[in-house]
Structure 1
Amino acid sequence: MVKLKNDMCSLRAVDTDDLEFIYELENNPALWEFGHTLTPYSKLTIREYLENAHRDIYEVKQLRLGICNAQNQIKGVIDLYDFDPYHKRAGVGVVINQESDRAKGLATAALELMVDYAFDHLRLHQLYAGIAQDNYASRKLFEKLRFRESGIKKDWITTQDGYKDEYLYQLINEKL
């Protein structure tokens, strides 16, 4: 049985009811660096994405789930991306939209659920994440869940102040 709920949060498919939330999230310039976004998204583009979000991970090679708090309010998203069923791996990313909702355990709880889903249900061998060198909160989060730094991509991310490194983190499924 697939478990996408714990005491702190639940993960659920995003749908058209989440249009305003996803629009705000995707158009927050403070988050663009993390998702490597350069331009805003229109509501039409997001609506079209949400109308197709139900498609299977094996078809579209990605999965986005909403992170809901105990009151069932969407507070963030967690993604599997670059899903590779042959090599049994995927990238994983998590974001809590509002700063006031961060550092309260939601991202940790959501990432725990996603790791379990990826390893137990999708039977992946590994998950990985690319995290900017100065994103200490994300590095701490992934390290807390046993992801290990396995490499550094030098000058990987362009910023207004120059370049910064991106750290590659991996979690290997020891059960497989």
Structure 2
Amino acid sequence: MKSEIKLRELVLEDKIAITNMLNNKNIWNNLRDYIPYPYKNNDAKVFITSAKTKTPVENFGIEYNGELCGIVSVEPQNDVYRLNGEIGYWIGEQYWGQGIGTKAIELMTDYAFNILKLKRIYAGVFGFNTASMAVLEKNGYKKEAILKSKIIKNETIFDEHLYAKLMTEDK
């Protein structure tokens, strides 16, 4: 049986799955600190409710064989950066290593270029997150810079690796 990976809009019923996956320190260690830890059902409800106010959609659930297994988002920028979008994503640990992140980034990148009409998509990756760097590289994202000592996570300073893909680049 071939596995199916797709993006779908979030629904309030996703809050338990999101909460369960985000209450994992291994995931949270790769996320920005504005995402609370421990993560509560109400945090998920607030996130989903906020996500549903965005038109067009910017936050999607990643579904693997009918199960929610993560989130992927693109945040269009504004002012002189208005043709740029920042992509972000996480996958539940039990789903790591199955190509789900790679496919989700492919789908979201296509959406950002074709629906949101962005010209450049970028991601900042914590210096220790080589798996995320590999996912982006598999999708044709290029490393543009290493920003030295830019991130503090868990009271430790790390470099940030900046990746980007332009709409005109081949996949």
TM-score range, shorter chain: 0.7 to 0.9
Which position in structure 1 is the counterpart of 2:73? 79
Distance between the aligned counterparts of 2:50 and 2:5, measured in 1?
A: 24
Deviation at 1:164, TM superposition (A): 1.2
Query: Is 2:134 aligned against 1:140?
Result: yes
Moved more, 163-172 or 27-36: 27-36
Query: Is 2:103 aligned against 1:105?
Result: no
Deviation at 1:113, TM superposition (A): 0.6
Which position in structure 2 is the counterpart of 1:91? 86
Q: Output the aligned Cα RMSD.
A: 2.3
Deviation at 1:30, TM superposition (A): 2.1
Q: 1:11-55 CA distances to partner (integer Å, 9 max, x unpaired)?
A: 011111101111123332222232212643432232233233211
Distance between the aligned counterparts of 2:159 and 2:78, measured in 1?
A: 28
Q: 1:86-136 CA distances to partner (integer Å, 9 max, x unpaired)?
A: 5211111121112x3111111111111101100011110010001112211
Amino acid across the alignment from 2:31: G
Which position in structure 2 is the counterpart of 1:115? 109
Which position in structure 2 is the counterpart of 1:43? 41
CA contact (8 A) 2:22 2:92 kept: no
Unaligned stretches of 5+ in structure 1? 1-6
Q: Secondary structure at the match of 1:137?
A: helix
Distance 1:160 1:34, change over 3 A: closer
Q: 1:40-88 CA distances to partner (integer Å, 9 max, x unpaired)?
A: 3432232233233211246xxx82211111x21111111113x125521
Amino acid across the alignment from 2:24: N
Deviation at 1:160, TM superposition (A): 4.6
Aligned sequence identity (%): 26
The number of equivalent residue pairs is 164
Amino acid across the alignment from 1:54: K
